[in-house]
Amino acid sequence: MQKRRLGTSDLEVSAIGLGCMGMSFSYGPPKEKREMISLLHASIERGITFFDTAEVYGPLINEELVGEALAPYRSKVVIATKFGFELDPNGGPRWVGLNSRPEHIKEVAEGSLKRLKVDVIDLFYQHRVDPSVPIEEVAGAVKELIKEGKVKHFGLSEAGADTIRRAHAVQPVTALQNEYSLWWRRPEQEILPLMEELGIGFVAYSPLGKGYLTGKIDQHTKFDTTDFRSSLPRFAPDALKANQALIDLIAEIAQRKKATPAQIALAWLLAQKPWIVPIPGTTKLERLEENIGAVNVELSGRDLDEIEKAASKIRLVGDRYPEHLEKMTGR
């Protein structure tokens, strides 16, 4: 497995990481624990060193799963987790609001350290920007945790350019985690140039468009009510049908390259910048191996130009999130 450095930091990770959310949260009921531990072990055996989780996934149970599975491999792996949501005090499955008050950040860190079975959190992201707490206070709280040896690196997720600059001035931001794929390219407008300027790494979540770019989802796909895609505008049948042109383009290139559509989508991301690391999620060994295979897919400059030219003619339909969730991004 190739390695990549996140920006100008000293944090080196596998070129493709593993998003662990779907093992416990959002894509239907939690998967069987022993199976997921086996999958996590298999990913390490195949060279993945970068694992992504969060307090809110489950909530709590995804961190516990990752902590238990990766404990024997602690010296070989980098674990990223996140703070910033207020969990239901009654133990419900959903968060009830945002909370990035410094005292709360420190409470979350202590809980995450225990659940992950680690002495230090490798990368601690603010999951979503809390408009009620100045980002300088957030960065300051993480800076204190870094001084105390409880956190190594500070990250942000779905933050706006001004917020990133302000945070970075207080505590250097190692990585920004945003959605980015051939299906969602907004980071190219303002965020990626800023990452280059400030030397910040970029971690791409949903690099396969929440499964859509694999070519295995179409307008006839039915999602269970426990699958959060059932509530996303881009996964409405009309939108899936309208966006099929992008899937056809990826499939055509995949056939020519003797690769799968998923591998082309990931290889495209890897080719954008050397400090971009996609973190596709999966619960299946065959998909894990397929995703890892993307590092061996070479897209030439001509290939990339062809993709760019064809993709520019495709008008994508449907918002990526419902309005209340989209409002929480780009702050």
The identity of residue 155, as a single letter, is G
Whether omega before 59 lies within 30 degrees of 0, making that bond cis, reads yes
Contact (Cβ atoms closer than 8 angstroms) between residue 204 and residue 178? yes
Q: How far is CA 243 from CA 6, 182, 193, 209, 296, in A?
A: 32, 11, 27, 12, 27
Residue type, 42: A
d(CA 70, CA 4): 21
Pairing of strands 173-179, 201-205: parallel
From residue 16, alpha-carbon distances to 5, 75, 151 in Å are 12, 18, 22
Catalytic residue among 57, 125, 205, 212: 57
- The yes-or-no answer on residue 57 being catalytic is yes
Q: How many CB atoms lie within 10 A of CB 133?
A: 19
Indicate which residues carry an active-site annotation: 57
